[in-house]
Amino acid sequence: MSLDLNNHSHRRWNPLTGEWVQVSPHRAKRPWQGQEEETPGEQKPQYDPECYLCPGNDRAGDASNPDYDSTFVFTNDFSALKPDVPSDKVNTDDLLVAKGEKGICRVICFSPRHDLTLPEMELKQIRDVVDLWTTEYKELGDRDYINYVQIFENKGEIMGCSNPHPHGQIWAQDTIPDEPAKELTQQREYYKKHGNTLLSDYLELELERDERVVVSNEHFVVVVPYWAFWPFETLLISRRPFGRFTDMTEAEKEGLADIVKQITVKFDNIFEVSFPYSAGFHPAPTDGKEHPEWHFHMHFYPPLLRSATVK
């Protein structure tokens, strides 16, 4: 009997992180008697006077928002990372180890309208968001102590999003976080061995097979990765190998806005709800080094399994 990947339990290799993923396709057929989530109400006002992200409203302390009419970015009032932290290290017997971590956290409001999400925004409005992502990546990454800039969005209450106003976050910090660090190691080793970026060769393979391609345009492709951990997990990959937001051409920025809209609309249409997810870009580190091995990409991790209420 040969291995049937559609029915037999098996492990799949994630070449981006160097880890194995357990896959048990037969378990998707089991009846569900577990917890089901309530779908949140979809009616939201265009402006909420109680929302701390809406234009003109007060935030924490004495801070208040300007009457912005496009995108808006500010340093998080409750930042997880601070720039004035000492870099001291604590080590007790190599068991109790800690180290100070400098950084900056910012919030990006995608739109002044409280009732919109990315798939509901016009393409031009999403392009404005792409431009702001690029500006923030460069401005923060140019700082001497910032070696990685994470740009991400947690969408939906079940993803822990504390405010429904359309927004994302930026964490810029001294240390390259664990997941990008794993990807750096794997991409570097692959590049040394093959002379191409790992994701260039992987994307070529996916396009040839055309089994897991979800949406695409001239500059970007979204696939369900072969090593996906979640049913609706997707990976956005640039067709041209580049590492940084600042490497994008104007046409590629337009393409990124378009592909983000395409995939988020697809998500919303699966169960006809505002689809929750955790999504984040993995650009090249901003450590002042050249990174020819790095290939620009973005991960989407939706929690839903088989309906709008099962996660």
Active site residues: 167
Q: What is the largest CA-CA distance in the chain?
A: 69
Tokens of 176: 């390259």
Pairing of strands 297-301, 277-282: antiparallel
Nearest to 305 by CA among 125, 9, 36: 36
Q: Please say whether the beta carbons of 137 and 246 come within 8 A.
A: yes
Tokens of 214: 């979800």
Distances (CA, A) of 251 to 151, 220, 257, 258, 269: 21, 11, 10, 11, 27
